[in-house]
Amino acid sequence: MPFVECNISKPDWRCREAATFAFGSILEGPTVEKLSPLVQAGLEFLLNAMKDENNHVKDTTAWTLCRIFELLHSPTSGFSLISPENLKRVLGVLLESMKDAPNVAEKVCGAVYYLAQGYEDAGASSSLLMPYLTDIMSSLIATADRTDGGDSKLRSSAYETLNEVVRCSNVMETSHIIAQLLPVIMNKLGQTVELQIVSSDDREKQADLQASLCGVLQVIIQKLSSKDETKPIIHQAADQVMVLFLKVFACRSSTVHEEAMLAIGALAYAAGPQFEKYMSEFYKYLEMGLQNFEEYQVCSITVGVVGDICRALDDKVLPYCDGIMNLLLRDLASSELHRSVKPPIFSCFGDIALAIGEHFEKYVPYALPMMQGAAEICAQMDTADDEMMEYGNQLRRSIFEAYSGLLQGFKNVKPDVMVPYAQHLLKFIELVSRDRQRDESVTKAAIAVMGDLADALGSNTKLLFKDCSFYADFLGECLQSDDEQLKETASWTQGMIGRVMVS
């Protein structure tokens, strides 16, 4: 600090910049109690330094403010250097500095990002940003529209910050402001489709812009569909939004494909059964996504969107299931597809089975052997390799999720379909229960599927449970857990098995 105090006002800009950089660098380490009086005293100085005549000093000052808001602004935990009294001043400086040189503006976007993030779920404090929300959003959009951004990533930084501002706002208080933002972003996305593309550089710029705008739309859709009172806003705009997404898909860019898919998953959740009317047009892009082995992240996201659509449409998804299941099974069998896509596919089987119930029976002879084969692969994995261990946990969790979906899907209509597979499933659960390196999500999924097995198959599992002793110890371990959710699931499973044993 003596170095900082000695240099921060010197005429030589290098001294001022070095002092500011040193100040920003010590923010992570000392306790909040030690730092807060120093930062409190220095905050006004830093805000003034955003008008320094030297670009390097402003750049480092903006970075330091960004770190202050990231590390010392947490109203949720009861501590923040930003008070209702100084918030107006802080925001005034930040929004003004967003007009500065691209490198400075980009870091200022980061500062606004962490400022908004601090107010998420912060009780009464979360309303403090509301009076400034329209100005913040307008400034970020104006910043994203700047033509001098060059390679500074300024545009993506502005849109990422806009996403965070929307995501962290209180939807009931700010829905009217977010509703006004929706047509602005839709209009911008519409304009990108009309852009004249004459070079690969043009196409890349178009793709980046479309990806950013699809990302903003996804966050807006998720925010407005999180409360029943604000869902109608999305329902009214859904047709126009979907038309835009389909036009974006027609531009054929993988980065956009990814963001547009995520946004469509959010729209499916918001639209519910109404999403059915878009399926005939959208299905070809769903197929393309599921067959995209090269850009495997696109494939993985598309698998997730199939799950979103199943939850939205229930049995209305049936006309598309043959095609979807055919592609998912082909993906699982492929040695070309990146292994990280395979666990979500198993989870997706569970989503499809829950949606279509007894109609899943025709896929059982193909899906179940795949699930059993994957369970056996899990048993042979190298537990000394951390990366393989993590992948093994993902795979086991997703296999359990698939079984849960199938058991629940058949429960009230054709539970007997699953009887031949019950013993193999119990053996798999036993194997997992003996593994000390499993993570908590795997434990939860295993204990839940054991309950589903007893619940769905009833007296058909009495002999199976009688013949295996491990489940009592496994349940006992879970009932002793500190995790309330796990204890609750274990208690439910215990009740289900108990019911089977006395039947």
pLDDT digits (tens, 9 = 90+) for 240-293: 999 999 999 887 766 678 889 999 999 999 999 999 999 999 999 999 999 988
pLDDT above 90 (res 119): no
Instruction: Report residue 79: phi and psi, to 5°.
Output: -135, 130
Q: Are 395 and 374 in contact (CB under 8 A)?
A: yes
- Tell me what pLDDT residue 78 has: 75
Indicate the pairing of strand 79-80 with strand 73-74.
antiparallel
Of 41 and 316, which is predicted with more confidence? 316
Q: Are 72 and 66 in contact (CB under 8 A)?
A: no
Q: Are 120 and 168 in contact (CB under 8 A)?
A: yes
- Tell me what pLDDT residue 495 has: 92
> pLDDT by residue (tens digit) across 157-174?
999 999 999 999 888 888
> pLDDT by residue (tens digit) across 414-447?
889 999 999 999 999 999 998 887 889 999 999 9
Give the best-scoring range by mean pLDDT among 40-49, 120-129, 473-482.
473-482
- Please, which residues have CB within 8 angstroms of residue 269's CB and are 6 or more apart in sequence? 222, 225, 308, 311, 312
The residue behind tokens 């700010």 is 174
pLDDT above 70 (res 151): no
Average pLDDT, rounded, for the chain: 90
Confidence grade of residue 197 (pLDDT, cut at 50, 70, 90) = confident
3-class SS of residue 74: strand
Query: Quick one: what percent of the chain has pLDDT higher than 70?
Result: 98
How many angstroms separate the Cα of 296 from the Cα of each of 2, 225, 263, 395, 480? 53, 29, 18, 17, 40
Q: Are 398 and 346 in contact (CB under 8 A)?
A: yes
- Name the burial class of residue 384, with classes exposed (0-12), middle (13-18) and buried (19+) by CB atoms within 10 angstroms of its CB: exposed
Report the predicted TM-score, pTM, of the whole model to 2 decimal places: 0.87
- Please give the biggest Cα pair distance in the chain: 87
3-class SS of residue 483: coil
Confidence grade of residue 204 (pLDDT, cut at 50, 70, 90) = confident
Distance CA 155, CA 133 (A): 19
Q: What is the DSSP string of 154-192?
A: HHHHHHHHHHHHHHHS-HHHHHHHHHHHHHHHHHHHHHH
pLDDT above 70 (res 299): yes
Distance CA 116, CA 169 (A): 8
Overall residue count recorded for the chain in this entry? 503
Distance CA 378, CA 155 (A): 43
Closest-CA residue to 410 (of 369, 462, 349): 349
User: Does an H or E element contain 80, and which?
Assistant: strand 79-80
